[in-house]
Chain A
Amino acid sequence: MGRRTLMAAVAAMTAHVAFVSTPILAQDPIVLGVIAPLSPPGETALGQLVKRGAELGADYLNEKGGILGRKVTLSIQDSAGKNEQGVAAYRRLVTQDKAVAVFGFVHSGVNIAVNEVAKEMGVPTMGTQTGAGDVTAKKYPIAFRTHAVDPPRAATWVGWIKKNNWKRVAILAETTDFGIGLAKETEKQNKDGNLGLEIQTIMFDRTTTDLLPQLLQVKAFKPDAIVNIGVGQPLELMITQANTVGLLPDVKMVTSYDAPARPQFWQIHGDKWKGVSFIAFYSPKSELSELGKWFAKKYQEKFNEPPVYGALNAFGNAVVFAQAIEKAKSTDPKAMIEALETGSFTGWSAVPVTFPKAEGVLWHNWSPPLMVLTYTAKDQSVGDAEVSYTLDK
């Protein structure tokens, strides 16, 4: 190559960088932030599900041409279930990674702490699986949520109990925001609705290693049903020890979330599964949107197991934020928030997603369909579980 040719090539490359690259820079990807518990002491199992769902959400959006013609990338941060780590992650996402929206929250405490900062910094948040009232009840403009809050969740098991004509109900709840809130809400619905249920409420510390003393009190109460409001290890311990004292399988137990929907349920409990039902937000029998169907197919292909709620909901958050940006035609936080408040979006469920400026905990809150599922045979897949009750909208 002659010297002139070389100089011409360099000049051409320089010109390309100077003039052609400018539009490419304008086409920087849109960053969606994810804050999930990916290491202990956080709820890492749920964190991994959220990560899977969010990643498939980005895949879906890019497959469809991105958002506003721009590629979508994720910045996934680990909160470890710690408030301070979650807040630091949010600041990093907004200031360093230029994230335009943040979702993936599993721990209510982290979500609430982040919202306190987000209300100043302005980038909207979405609670993926956070149940505490204060996530939305403080009515912050930036705070959104797509998860079941206390009233519909309690209404689901109250409806299931009424449907079976049971009268005596024992509530065993851990002393966390989650447990206390649900126990009080159940008692409130019983009182306000004059349902006539006799309720025995026993609270326990979530680090307990022995629930036998509490279960012996429950046995003496002779309940028709037990509401198991433990999260993680206490939930499983209660099932094990309720079998030991002879409460299960004759007395029916409902768990407050969908832990038994995970395949580990069968590994953990083996033959001691009878009499346990669980609140679920998704069943393969549930009606999915077209997006939900795309997700279910891809999830099965990628992970060789049926999708579960945590992953579905994180996917839903990603696509709902994308639709809000498209509707607002901008990533400006205020425009996005207005779009979220006024629009109707398609998430994973066939039920449209809306975020009304409603009262109390229902502010900016979309609740997934709620149901009670019951296994009818050992090693059954969640898709074959019986739908024992569905909460009417």
Chain B
Amino acid sequence: MMYTTELLIQTVISGLMVGVLYALMALGITFIYSIVKTINWAMGEFYMIGSYIQFVAVHFLLGPNYWWLAVIISTAGTFLAGYIIEPILIKPMYARPMQRRDDYATVVTIALLLLLRSLAVAIGGPNQYRPETNLPIIWLGPLPQEGARVAASFCAVVALGLFWLVIKKTWVGLALRATAQNRVAAQTSGVDVLRLDATAFAIGVAMAGLAGALLAPLFMVFPTNGAVATVKGFEIIVIGGLGSIPGALIGGLLLGLVESLGTSFISSPYQNAYGFLLVILVLIVKPNGLFGEKVREA
């Protein structure tokens, strides 16, 4: 095949756009972990919930012109779902003394994953759906892109910016950062960490819901559509470092670029393998991830 500058530019643009969306997913996982100290294995199912809400809102209620309003509703709906679920499933780990919290969290969130998938099949049926979009094809330099994909990437960047502002400039953000650094110290300073856990969990899953809503016109709506996003999210937190917000951003972009460049310039069938090679490389060079911190355990 012909390796041209145009193909290189197209590939880089394509990789960065996918990378931003990957980052959104990874950020949700890493954010929940940094606050609640729990890995949420059902993250992809919140992505799926966001995509279903987007479909129902656009197809049955609002129409394609108001896709952006549907995105806000989907994100809010997923936030609400997280806010309701956290006190029921996650809070008991902290409300009473418990050994092997990680094991409990793994079992509970995997059970949640299965429950949500089965509910999706029972309610929505096995078919694939797609929320309508009226966004035209947009040319990014030499690269034609679906309007929905450009909008998704743009909205993801805006969401990441808003997230940064909330974390850095608000009292809630300060409390979240304090809790992430030291739960006991934050609690001693008067922060209601159990309540904050619910907020953090809800924000984290809302990011997955936002990704699901934004990507629904491209990757469609069906019960297992969050599975790939979850795998990518976990790859990214290994690359960027578990609990690191900049790591999630840089890791997402790197993964998108590596997959895209590998597909275009090496061999197409091994798209996923390039990502895993990157993961292995990072594990060899920096086992805690590019932005991960070394932790000493007693």
Write the residues of chain A forming the contact surface with B, with a CB cutoff of 8 angstroms. Answer: 39-41, 44-45, 47-48, 175, 202-205, 207-210, 212-214, 216-217, 220, 232-233, 236-237, 240-241, 244-246, 262, 264, 267-270
Q: A39-B121, A214-B263, A233-B225 are contacts. A208–B129 as well, Cβ < 8 Å?
A: no
Q: Does B81 contact A (CB under 8 A)?
A: no
- Taken together as a complex, chains A and B put the C-alpha atoms of A262 and B222 apart, in Å, by 15
- A48 to chain B: which residues have CB within 8 Å? 125-126
Q: A44-B121, A240-B146 are contacts. A268–B220 as well, Cβ < 8 Å?
A: yes
B130 near A267 with CB under 8 A, answer yes
- A214 to chain B: which residues have CB within 8 Å? 263, 268
Closest to A202 in B: B268
Q: A213-B263, A244-B145, A267-B129 are contacts. A203–B219 as well, Cβ < 8 Å?
A: no
A220 near B121 with CB under 8 A, answer no
- Beyond A40-B117, A203-B268, A210-B18, 8 extra complex contacts between A and B, CB < 8 Å: A44-B121, A45-B127, A209-B218, A212-B10, A216-B264, A245-B144, A262-B127, A268-B129
- Taken together as a complex, chains A and B put the C-alpha atoms of A246 and B231 apart, in Å, by 31
- A39 to chain B: which residues have CB within 8 Å? 117-118, 121
A213 near B268 with CB under 8 A, answer yes
- Flag B205-242 by CB within 8 Å of A: 1 or 0 each: 00000000000001110111101100100000000000
Write the residues of chain B forming the contact surface with A, with a CB cutoff of 8 angstroms. Answer: 1-2, 7, 10-11, 14, 18, 59, 117-118, 121, 125-130, 132, 137, 143-146, 218-220, 222-225, 227-228, 231, 260, 263-264, 268-272
Query: Nearest Cβ in chain A — how far from B1, in angstroms?
Result: 6
A213 near B11 with CB under 8 A, answer yes
- A264 to chain B: which residues have CB within 8 Å? 127-129
Closest to A245 in B: B144
Name the contact of B271 in the complex, choosing from A204, A237, A246, A262 (C-beta under 8 A): A204
B128 near A205 with CB under 8 A, answer no
Query: Nearest Cβ in chain A — how far from B144, in angstroms?
Result: 5
- Taken together as a complex, chains A and B put the C-alpha atoms of A226 and B294 apart, in Å, by 51
Q: How many A-B residue pairs have CB under 8 A?
A: 95
- B264 to chain A: which residues have CB within 8 Å? 213, 216-217
Query: Nearest Cβ in chain A — how far from B236, in angstroms?
Result: 14
Closest to B147 in A: A244
Q: Which 9 A-B pairs have the closest CB atoms?
A: A44-B126, A203-B269, A40-B224, A45-B126, A213-B264, A268-B130, A213-B263, A175-B269, A205-B271
- A236 to chain B: which residues have CB within 8 Å? 128, 130, 220
B228 near A217 with CB under 8 A, answer no
- A205 to chain B: which residues have CB within 8 Å? 269-272
Q: A204-B269, A246-B144, A268-B129 are contacts. A212–B14 as well, Cβ < 8 Å?
A: yes
B223 near A40 with CB under 8 A, answer yes
B128 near A233 with CB under 8 A, answer yes
Closest to A204 in B: B268
Closest to A208 in B: B271
- Taken together as a complex, chains A and B put the C-alpha atoms of A97 and B18 apart, in Å, by 49
B260 near A210 with CB under 8 A, answer yes
Query: Nearest Cβ in chain B — how far from A54, in angstroms?
Result: 16
- Taken together as a complex, chains A and B put the C-alpha atoms of A144 and B117 apart, in Å, by 33
- B59 to chain A: which residues have CB within 8 Å? 267
A240 near B271 with CB under 8 A, answer no
- Taken together as a complex, chains A and B put the C-alpha atoms of A346 and B264 apart, in Å, by 50
Query: Nearest Cβ in chain B — how far from A138, in angstroms?
Result: 26
- Taken together as a complex, chains A and B put the C-alpha atoms of A269 and B271 apart, in Å, by 26
- Taken together as a complex, chains A and B put the C-alpha atoms of A244 and B144 apart, in Å, by 6
- A241 to chain B: which residues have CB within 8 Å? 146
B219 near A209 with CB under 8 A, answer yes
Q: 22 interchain pairs (CB within 8 A)?
A: A39-B118, A44-B121, A44-B126, A204-B263, A205-B271, A210-B14, A212-B10, A212-B14, A212-B145, A213-B11, A213-B14, A213-B264, A214-B263, A216-B7, A216-B10, A217-B268, A220-B1, A233-B225, A264-B128, A264-B129, A268-B129, A269-B130
